[in-house]
């Protein structure tokens, strides 16, 4: 009986822990590059004299560029060694981030975000494919939870550091910091990422059969739409939290930094717990539990009254980050288990594309709904919250349609 129990719940071993850490490190810089845009919003609004709608174009330009690149990449990403693809894309991402570091105009920053999005969006799909290739389904929840811990690390270490650098030196230096952190990670990836050869037969790069295989299966379509709803259920609110807290709630920039520090520390611990619980009690069950709980902080954070005490507001934002990010772990494990290994890279590229579309739509929706008043504050954040709740309930319904095959 002991042998059976061990076989059904295998443990993560040392070399797998190192791989998870390396993949999480790549995701750390990738996520930080995207997340840092939210607390820097106030800088961009003032320096470029733009409104929230124009700022949402900067956010969505990254997302939509990532979407197009990932969709095109779905046609050929499975034809390459996973390690080679990850290194090439991560290098391109660092180049795009370096361009952000030297941007001085709205137009050039828009261009730089497009470049970073093209490569950054695709590298996420490759990382998730590596997890699907290396880890069996019994370990995938824990592995996914470990890599998702990059979100927490970016919140605890990356974003607060980026905010402080922006306060003292300017927002351009924040992107330079990301590049400086990313270069040694790239070196470690070159040395230690496992070589995972393509499982496909050699075919012309112009062959679109892989994309057809992904989109021809209704089970795949359901899984893709499901994950888009998951992303929209968080990013409609996430994109505007920092500037809303500054302008409406009276948070200082250091208080905004605390949102990411405290929330990140808590989600770092909770992400591993959620991964374990997903493997132990089932991905569907844990996802449903977290979605229903997440509705409470979503509605709370979008209805905070003016003058609400900062410490209590930080409690709300912390629970928001724990539960909203926690939903993604069982959702991602469900989705990666819904596809066959031979087309996993193509599927994840399509998913990265649609995930980027969802983040872009979330930014555009929030930018369109929020109204900036003459005194600089914003109204209609409550409507953004209702939209997020609707997307979460849709995701909850669609989760029952996702079928596990591997």
Lowest mean pLDDT among 24-38, 66-80, 238-252: 66-80
Q: Which residue has better confidence, 194 or 101?
A: 101
Q: What is the mean pLDDT of residues 295-311?
A: 91
The pLDDT score that the predictor gives to residue 207 is 55
Tens digits of residue pLDDT in 6-27: 344 555 556 778 888 888 889 8
Distance CA 333, CA 283 (A): 7
Residue 316 has pLDDT above 50, yes or no: yes
Tens digits of residue pLDDT in 357-373: 888 898 889 888 988 88
The pLDDT score that the predictor gives to residue 185 is 93
The CA–CA distances, whole Å, from 151 to 103, 165, 375 equal: 25, 19, 33
Contact call for residues 283 and 377 (beta carbons, < 8 A): no
The pLDDT score that the predictor gives to residue 39 is 87
pLDDT band at 208 (very low <50, low <70, confident <90, very high): low
Distance CA 368, CA 364 (A): 6
Domain ranges of the chain: 13-198+207-399
- Find, among 242, 177, 240, 173, the residue nearest to 29 by Cα: 177
Residue 110 has pLDDT above 80, yes or no: yes
Tens digits of residue pLDDT in 270-292: 887 888 888 888 888 999 999 99
The CA–CA distances, whole Å, from 83 to 101, 177, 238, 387 equal: 27, 25, 32, 39
Q: Which residue has better confidence, 135 or 253?
A: 253
Q: What is the mean pLDDT of residues 365-394?
A: 90
Report the predicted TM-score, pTM, of the whole model to 2 decimal places.
Answer: 0.74
Distance CA 123, CA 92 (A): 9
> If one looks up domain 13-198+207-399 in CATH, what number appears?
1.20.1250.20
Residue 396 has pLDDT above 90, yes or no: yes
- Find, among 122, 125, 396, 384, the residue nearest to 244 by Cα: 384
- Maximum average pLDDT range among 106-115, 268-277, 337-346: 106-115
Tens digits of residue pLDDT in 22-67: 888 898 898 889 888 988 888 998 899 888 888 888 988 888 888 8
Q: Tokens at residue 201, please? A: 């037969």
pLDDT band at 1 (very low <50, low <70, confident <90, very high): very low
The pLDDT score that the predictor gives to residue 152 is 66
Contact call for residues 313 and 304 (beta carbons, < 8 A): yes
Q: Which residue has better confidence, 92 or 280?
A: 92
Helices then strands, each counted (H, E), the chain: 16, 2
Contact call for residues 110 and 199 (beta carbons, < 8 A): no
The pLDDT score that the predictor gives to residue 105 is 93
pLDDT band at 166 (very low <50, low <70, confident <90, very high): very high
Q: Which residues pair with 372 in a beta bridge?
A: 378
pLDDT band at 157 (very low <50, low <70, confident <90, very high): confident
Q: Whole-number mean pLDDT of the chain? A: 84
The pLDDT score that the predictor gives to residue 102 is 94
Residue 220 has pLDDT above 80, yes or no: yes
- Find, among 26, 112, 133, 118, the residue nearest to 71 by Cα: 118
| Calculated CA dihedral for residues 3, 142, 284, 266, nearest 10 degrees | 140
């Amino acid at each position: 009986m002991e042998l059976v129990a061990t076989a059904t719940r295998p443990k993560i071993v040392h070399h797998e822990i190192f791989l998870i850490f390396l993949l999480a490190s790549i995701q750390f810089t990738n996520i930080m590059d995207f997340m840092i845009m939210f607390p820097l919003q106030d800088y961009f609004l003032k320096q470029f004299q733009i409104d929230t709608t124009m700022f949402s174009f900067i956010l969505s330009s990254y997302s939509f560029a990532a979407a197009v690149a990932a969709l095109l990449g779905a046609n050929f990403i499975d034809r390459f060694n996973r390690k080679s693809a990850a290194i090439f894309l991560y290098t391109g991402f660092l180049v795009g981030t370096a361009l952000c570091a030297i941007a001085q105009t709205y137009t050039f920053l828009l261009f730089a975000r497009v470049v970073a999005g093209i490569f950054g969006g695709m590298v996420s799909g490759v990382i998730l494919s590596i997890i699907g290739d290396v880890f069996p389904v019994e370990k995938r929840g824990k592995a996914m939870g470990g890599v998702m811990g990059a979100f927490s690390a970016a919140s605890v270490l990356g974003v607060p550091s980026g905010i402080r650098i922006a306060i003292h030196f300017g927002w351009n230096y924040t992107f330079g910091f990301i590049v400086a952190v990313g270069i040694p990670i790239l070196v470690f990836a070159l040395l230690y990422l496992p070589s995972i050869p393509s499982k496909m037969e050699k075919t012309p790069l112009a062959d679109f059969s892989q994309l057809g295989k992904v989109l021809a299966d209704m089970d795949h379509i359901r899984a893709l739409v499901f994950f888009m709803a998951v992303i929209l259920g968080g990013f409609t609110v996430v994109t505007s939290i920092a500037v809303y807290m500054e302008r409406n709630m009276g948070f200082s920039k250091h208080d905004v930094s605390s949102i990411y520090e405290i929330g990140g520390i808590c989600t770092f611990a909770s992400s591993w717990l959620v991964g374990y619980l997903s493997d132990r009690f089932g991905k569907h069950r844990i996802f449903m539990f977290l979605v229903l709980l997440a509705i409470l902080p979503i509605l709370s954070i979008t209805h905070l009254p003016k003058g609400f005490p900062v410490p209590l507001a930080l409690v709300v934002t912390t629970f928001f980050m724990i539960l909203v990010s926690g939903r993604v772990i069982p959702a991602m494990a469900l989705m990666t288990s819904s596809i066959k290994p031979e087309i996993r890279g193509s599927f994840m590229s399509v998913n990265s594309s649609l995930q980027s579309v969802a983040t872009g739509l979330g930014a555009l929706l929030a930018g369109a709904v929020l109204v900036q008043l003459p005194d600089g504050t914003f109204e209609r954040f409550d409507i953004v919250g209702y939209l997020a709740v609707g997307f979460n309930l849709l995701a909850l319904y669609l989760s029952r349609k996702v079928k596990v095959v591997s």
